[in-house]
């Protein structure tokens, strides 16, 4: 049986079942995957089951999971508290969904208001993407302005307004003090490129110049307070950005889809001590189920209040005041099973020593990996905050997207493919997300496999 070869690495015949499934999938699903990010060459690995910190693929191979559904599974796979909450909700309610308000919506909203400094009211969505999309519409309705500003290298979802300058080449990106707006997909019109202004992350002086120039056009600045989940904003930058947006009448949106609950219960905003005007949440909030939420200042959030304008979908009803209310809807918003899973997740995270233990394990893995790579004379640093980090092969400080371009990505990619064959799972070049169920044994095994991968890639004898 021949090996499946790729210029990105080779995946052994141990995953031939995934290769066959991928061949079949390509005939019925574009590219064989349900989301573009799930693909990597020569083909992704198809999973069959999971428990705790471990995944098992369709060929029976086991992996220590550091992708964790792109960070969503902070409690790991199949946590008993979450499973029990889901089963209890389904059996007690007698239905999967009501299609009507229910008590868990209020209970979750109170939790988010309790923990996140910038949240006074809450609305639910079905994904983090939908949440960021709603924050932008809210900001535009509140300010009466149409243009938005985002930071170079930041990802807020796969829709037109923000799918620009996420991963541009250095030639496309332009001046570091005034980055170009570069579309990242087909189907993005020139309108969205022109009306999405790109800002340089962690550069307050250049950011201020751009925002002052376009202050009469910009409705909102949307930002990942930790870019990609692993490059933190600098404290002075965040403080300055908050002050500046307030002075200029620009809504400040924190996209905490990645960072919500991964740093602490109150997200990045509680660590920075900053109250954004609007916050988008997702991932961990759903306990493994699709979820999103928008929270923010009452004055902005109440623009969605249907008692002020009616319902556009009530056919034949009285005429509504469309200029008085922002329409927001979704059949599955505030899904009871999802919120039951999310509330169970928060309950576990509220336990004694949960966060200190999680952060200490993350620190242990990061420091052990850095020590290992340095012992082989390899430039490497782990960059991150809270329970997320990434491995970057450079000694230069990493403050923004352009700094990442200076790193040795080829070495990282080669090591990642070797690790996949050894049972360490994350999508090549992706960040590492820790869970509360990763063990000391997992960490020791991970470091040991990294050493084996280094020796293979560098051609070092055992």
**Which of 63, 66, 155, 401 is flagged as catalytic?**
155
**Which of 111, 258, 275, 283 is flagged as catalytic?**
283
Q: Reply yes or no on whether 215 is catalytic.
A: no
Rounded to an integer, what distance in angstroms lies between the CA atom of residue 162 and that of residue 153?
11
The Cα diameter of the chain in Å comes to 79
Written as six digits, the tokens of 307 are: 């008692």
**Which of 255, 403, 416, 442 is flagged as catalytic?**
255
Rounded to an integer, what distance in angstroms lies between the CA atom of residue 54 and that of residue 446?
12
Question: Sign of torsion, CA 33 68 85 257?
Answer: negative
Q: Reply yes or no on whether 255 is catalytic.
A: yes
Cis peptide leading into residue 322 (ω within 30°): no
Written as six digits, the tokens of 69 are: 């559904």
To the nearest 10°, the Cα dihedral for 80, 85, 88, 90? Answer: -120
Cβ–Cβ < 8 Å for 47, 40? no
Rounded to an integer, what distance in angstroms lies between the CA atom of residue 254 and that of residue 29?
34
The set of long-range contacts for 15-23, using a CB threshold of 8 Å and a minimum separation of 24, is 15/45, 15/57, 15/59, 15/61, 16/59, 17/46, 17/57, 17/58, 17/59, 18/43, 18/44, 18/45, 18/46, 18/57, 18/58, 18/59, 19/43, 21/46, 21/58, 22/46
Backbone φ and ψ of 192, nearest 5°: -70, -35
Rounded to an integer, what distance in angstroms lies between the CA atom of residue 82 and that of residue 419?
30
Of 264, 252, 328, the closest CA to residue 293 belongs to 328
Q: Reply yes or no on whether 66 is catalytic.
A: no
Rounded to an integer, what distance in angstroms lies between the CA atom of residue 71 and that of residue 356?
18
Just list the catalytic residues: 155, 255, 283
């Amino acid at each position: 049986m021949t090996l499946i070869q790729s210029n990105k690495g080779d995946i052994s015949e141990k995953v031939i079942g995934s290769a066959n499934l991928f061949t079949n999938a390509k005939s019925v699903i574009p590219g064989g995957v349900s989301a573009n990010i799930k693909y990597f060459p020569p083909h992704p690995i198809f999973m069959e089951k999971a428990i705790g910190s471990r995944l098992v693929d369709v060929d029976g191979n086991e992996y220590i999971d550091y992708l964790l559904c792109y960070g969503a599974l902070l409690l790991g796979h199949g946590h008993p508290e979450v499973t029990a909450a889901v089963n209890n909700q389904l059996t007690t309610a007698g239905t999967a969904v009501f299609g009507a308000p229910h008590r868990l919506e209020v209970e979750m909203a109170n939790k988010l208001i309790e923990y996140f400094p910038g949240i006074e009211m809450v609305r639910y969505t079905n994904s983090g993407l939908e949440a960021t999309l709603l924050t932008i519409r809210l900001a535009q309705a509140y300010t009466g302005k149409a243009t938005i500003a985002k930071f170079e290298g930041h990802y807020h979802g796969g829709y037109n307004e923000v799918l620009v300058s996420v991963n541009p080449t250095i030639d496309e990106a332009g001046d570091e003090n005034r980055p170009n707006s570069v579309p990242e997909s087909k189907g993005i019109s020139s309108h969205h490129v022109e009306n999405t202004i790109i800002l340089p992350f962690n550069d307050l002086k250049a950011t201020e110049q751009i925002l002052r120039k376009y202050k009469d056009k910009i409705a909102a600045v949307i930002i990942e307070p930790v870019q990609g989940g692993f490059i933190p904003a600098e404290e002075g930058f965040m403080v300055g950005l908050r002050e500046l947006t307030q002075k200029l009448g620009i809504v400040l949106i924190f996209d905490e889809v990645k960072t919500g609950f991964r740093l602490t219960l109150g997200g990045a905003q509680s660590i920075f001590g900053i109250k954004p005007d609007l916050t988008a949440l997702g991932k961990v909030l759903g306990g493994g189920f699709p979820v999103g939420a928008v929270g923010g200042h009452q004055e902005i959030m109440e623009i969605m209040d249907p008692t002020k304008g009616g319902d556009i979908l009530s056919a034949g009803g009285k005429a509504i005041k469309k200029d008085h209310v922002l329409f927001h809807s979704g059949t599955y918003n505030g899904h009871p099973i999802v919120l039951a899973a999310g509330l169970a997740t928060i309950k576990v995270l509220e336990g004694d020593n949960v966060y200190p233990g999680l952060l200490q394990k993350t620190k242990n893995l990061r420091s052990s990996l850095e020590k290992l790579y340095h012992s082989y004379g390899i430039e490497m640093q782990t960059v991150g905050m809270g329970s997320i980090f990434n491995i970057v092969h450079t000694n230069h400080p990493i403050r923004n997207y352009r700094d990442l371009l200076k790193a040795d990505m080829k070495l990282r990619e080669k090591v990642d493919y070797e690790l996949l064959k050894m049972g360490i799972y994350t999508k090549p070049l992706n960040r590492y997300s820790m869970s509360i169920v990763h063990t000391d044994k997992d960490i020791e095994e991970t470091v040991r496999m990294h050493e084996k991968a280094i020796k293979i890639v560098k051609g070092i004898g055992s």
